[in-house]
Amino acid sequence: MEKEKLKGVSNGKKFLIESYGCQMNFSDSEIVASILTEKGFSITKVEDDADLILLNTCAIRDNAEQRVRNRLTHLKGKKKRNKTLKVGVLGCMAERLKSKLLDEEKLVDLVVGPDAYRDLPNLIEEVETGQKAVNVLLSREETYADINPVRMNQDGVTAFVSIMRGCDNMCSFCVVPFTRGRERSRSPETIVKECTDLFASGYKEVTLLGQNVDSYRWNIDSKGNIKNENEETTNFAGLLEKVALVDKNLRVRFSTSHPKDMTDDVLHTMAKYENICNYIHLPVQSGNSDVLKRMNRGYTREWYLDRMKAIRRIIPECAVSTDIITGFCGENEEEFNDTLSLMKEVKYDFAYMFFYSERPKTLAERKFEDDVPLELKKSRLTEVINLQSEHGHASTKRQVGLTQEVLVEGVSKRSSEHNYGRNSQNAVVIFPKQDSKRGDYVQVKIQSCTPATLMGEIVG
Ligand code: 5AD
Ligand code: SF4
């Protein structure tokens, strides 16, 4: 329905968009889809029907780029057979490699960075005249605040809402500040309006997205001073409250929190509103303060553990997930063991784990030697993964016997007799349907679990 409403007069052209990497990219693809459907393009999911294939790419680790390159090579073959097919690269890899993708490798027709999507219709016109087109300008202002994203997650229940763009943190391993530019926040009014509209059209859950949501600020400068006395100021805790007040039946999630910036205010706001989910993604990266210093993360192990204590004190039911990198520059055995010991202390419910991948232009690339051998990076990663799977399983086991509110997201892939959804803590729950349907809130008594999933039955 949303799609129909937004579609401009058809120009007969179809595009397919594939998203790689983080949730922000998936959210950006919905903005791109909105910009193109406004201009008369229509969306297709069938590769052979597409006149234009867009890959919204990730540059965070080398293997993410490799995946995209493989896909581009495949599409190059397709272009040989279908001379009118155009291929574009969007997102972080476009920003990182710029026209290199056009000049050196001749894999694509179009290269567009994350702040230039409004220019896509013009660029596509250029491409149609046989030229190659590039726009990788980064902006200090662009937030696409006025664009009503075309929702591509077909469940009609959960949606991403981008609240800010870019990142000013300069973690030494990270390419994001170079590919997504300076941090800027979107106005609270447009965010609240988007959430209100989503709820009115049947959505029951929004996830507020930013690289570091805790540094969200509206009408406040980087030193904490008010910019315009006549305008309202909002920090992340304030924004969270505004969104929670849209409706008590609209669940609110957010990602990603930053340990150096996460305040008790945010935690108190979470505790105050039932509909703000009890789940925080709080990437630690390493459990050793010297490594954290080299990573330029802006906190120590002790500071992180203090933030964890605050979470446990203020929201005892809260689930916590993390990101961990093994084998960062100079990481010795002792430093690595600190990551394992921190994991044992926190016992994360869930974790995303990676071995370090050096990225061009980053502080780490310029300053430190990438000196941990690949095999050691990988064996440390295996250790971390094994430990986390114990903790993950312990987390699901702890929930057996509890009755939890679950938002139904759809029919289970494994069995048409079962629905699946998530509890507040973000764990997937599977249960016999009875008469529940997508978008309903149901009470589920958890009866059993696997390391990553809960199984139960609707009660009450
Ligand atoms: N190598 C490995 N992992 C990385 N991440 C970011 N940059 C790198 C890199 N160069 C991880 C971090 C971050 C997550 C999104 O990706 O853990 O939190
Ligand atoms: Fe990268 Fe650090 Fe910004 Fe996250 S906070 S996007 S890891 S620079």
Ligand 2 atom closest to Cα of 60? 1
What is d(CA 343, CA 283) in angstroms, rounded to the nearest whole number? 12
Distance in Å, CA 285 to ligand 1 centroid: 8
CB within 8 A of 35, min separation 6: which ones?
Answer: 117, 118, 120, 121, 147
For residue 8, the model assigns a pLDDT of 66
Q: Which ligand has the minimum distance to the alpha carbon of residue 260?
A: 2
Question: Is the Cβ–Cβ distance between 177 and 169 less than 8 Å?
Answer: yes
C-alpha distances in angstroms, 273 versus 54, 101, 151, 237, 310?
39, 47, 26, 12, 17
- Tell me, using a 6 A CB cutoff, whether residue 174 lines ligand 2: yes
Q: Which ligand has the minimum distance to the alpha carbon of residue 281?
A: 1
**Residue 421, φ and ψ in degrees, nearest 5:** -165, -165
DSSP state of 374: H
What is d(CA 351, CA 424) in angstroms, rounded to the nearest whole number? 17
| Nearest alpha carbon, ligand 1 atom 18 | 323
Distance in Å, CA 448 to ligand 2 centroid: 37
Residues in the chain: 460
For ligand 2, mutation pick of 23, 167, 281 (most atoms within 8 Å of CB): 167
Ligand 1 site: residues with CB under 6 angstroms? Answer: 60-61, 173-174, 283, 285, 323, 325, 354, 356-357, 359
Question: Is the Cβ–Cβ distance between 315 and 270 less than 8 Å?
Answer: yes
> Domains (ranges, CATH) in the chain?
2-135 (3.40.50.2300), 158-394 (3.80.30.20), 403-458 (2.40.50.140)
Distance in Å, CA 233 to ligand 1 centroid: 32
Ligand 2 atom closest to Cα of 168? 3
Distance in Å, CA 60 to ligand 2 centroid: 10
Of 253, 243, 248, nearest to 193 by C-alpha is 243
| Nearest alpha carbon, ligand 1 atom 6 | 174
Ligand 2 atom closest to Cα of 211? 6
Question: Is the Cβ–Cβ distance between 124 and 118 less than 8 Å?
Answer: no
| Average pLDDT per consecutive 10 residues, the chain (460 residues; last block may be shorter) | 54 95 95 96 94 97 94 92 94 93 82 97 94 94 94 88 96 96 95 97 97 94 86 95 98 98 97 98 98 98 98 98 98 98 98 98 97 98 98 97 97 95 98 96 98 94
For ligand 2, mutation pick of 176, 282, 285, 292 (most atoms within 8 Å of CB): 176
DSSP string, 292-320: HHHTT-S--HHHHHHHHHHHHHH-TT-EE
DSSP string, 117-163: GGGHHHHHHHHHTT--EEE----SS---TT--PPP--TTSSEEEEE-
For residue 5, the model assigns a pLDDT of 44
For residue 416, the model assigns a pLDDT of 93
Ramachandran region of residue 130, left (φ > 0), alpha (ψ -120 to 50) or beta? Answer: left
For residue 1, the model assigns a pLDDT of 39
Q: Which ligand has the minimum distance to the alpha carbon of residue 179?
A: 2
CB within 8 A of 434, min separation 6: which ones?
Answer: 458
Ligand 1 atom closest to Cα of 285? 17
Distance in Å, CA 182 to ligand 1 centroid: 18
